[in-house]
Amino acid sequence: MKRQMKVILMAAVALFLMAQAATASMLIPLNERAAPAPAPEKSLAIADGWSLERIDFIHYAKPSNPGNSKPAGSCYKLIGYKWKTLPVSYVINPANPQGLTTDFIASKLSLSAETWDGATSSELFNNSYTLDSSAAYGTQDFRNSIAFGDYADNNVIAVTSIWYTRKVKQIVEFDMLFNTRFSWGDAVLDPSKMDLQNIAAHEMGHAAGLDDIYSTSCSAVTEYGYSGYGETQKRTLEPPDITGLQAMYGL
């Protein structure tokens, strides 16, 4: 009788773990707000039962009149969660419909990551990366995936999604998508292009734990929430970006 009960219990545990795995791999719908907000769905993907929540950072094309949201005196804002295990590795899917080469994409993304790395004594992003044509944006799988794809909004340049756990205020994954409705390239060479390095540097700031800033008095910072064709100023960090980064990871 005890043996039979043990078998039944083991079967129940196996079913529970299978359900967890299925939940962890679900594609969570994006929320469409410019400011990040916790996703309504959660996935039980941490072994000890911590629940994960998701934030989507929507990077919009700069409108003709962006307005001036509540002034940010410090010109930076933290999302309240950061990485506890460093350095952070990432996977690049270079597939794109615009003929951008793998070397171009990888070099621009790596430069963007190292721009943040160089502003803190912590080894934040891994110096190496993985190339994988199967890497996909939007699936919670503990792979920090960067990819190109069609996002069904002509005003959305890029999206970075963060999965985190409130229990220890820890980021556990980011995914990044560059919208192929925009024409990508190097805006130094061709100002009619959306500069990949410029936008990637902004998105890497979200991956590290920084929020968007929408005050026009802070429009020079890398985490300013709007961008446009030909812009390259976000390639380098401004003092507020660095201050925010170092508040999380040290000088």
Taking the C-alpha atoms of residue 150 and residue 177, their distance in angstroms, rounded to an integer, is 9
pLDDT at 1 over 80: no
Name the band, by pLDDT with cuts 50, 70 and 90, for residue 88. Answer: very high
* Secondary structure (3-state) at 143: coil
- Does residue 16 surpass a pLDDT of 80? no
Q: Is 121 exposed, middle or buried (0-12, 13-18, 19+ CB in 10 A)?
A: exposed
Residue 3 has pLDDT above 80, yes or no: no
- pLDDT mean over 241-246: 98
Rounded average pLDDT over 174-185 = 98
If DSSP codes are grouped into helix, strand and coil, which group holds residue 243? Answer: helix
CA proximity to 66, closest of 189, 229, 218, 246: 218
Q: Say yes or no to pLDDT of 195 above 50.
A: yes
Tokens standing for 112?
A: 């963007």
At 12 the pLDDT is: 40
Residue 39 to residue 161: CA distance in whole angstroms: 10
Amino acid at 247: A
Is the N-terminal amide bond of 71 cis, ω within 30° of 0? no
44-69 residue pLDDT tens: 344 455 689 999 999 999 998 787 76
Query: What residue has token string 């190496």?
Result: 128
**Could you count the other beta carbons within 10 Å of the beta carbon of residue 119?**
21
pLDDT (mean) for 208-227: 96
Average pLDDT, stretch 82-107? 98
Q: What CATH class has 53-249?
A: alpha beta
Predicted local distance difference test score (pLDDT) of residue 71: 60
The identity of residue 190, as a single letter, is D
Would you state the torsion angle of the CA atoms of residues 49, 51, 52, 53, taken in this order, to the nearest 10 degrees?
Answer: 180
Instruction: Please give the pLDDT value at position 65.
Output: 79
- In sequence order, what E strands does 142-227 have? 145-149, 156-165, 170-179, 184-185, 194-195, 226-227
**Residue 138: pLDDT above 70?**
yes
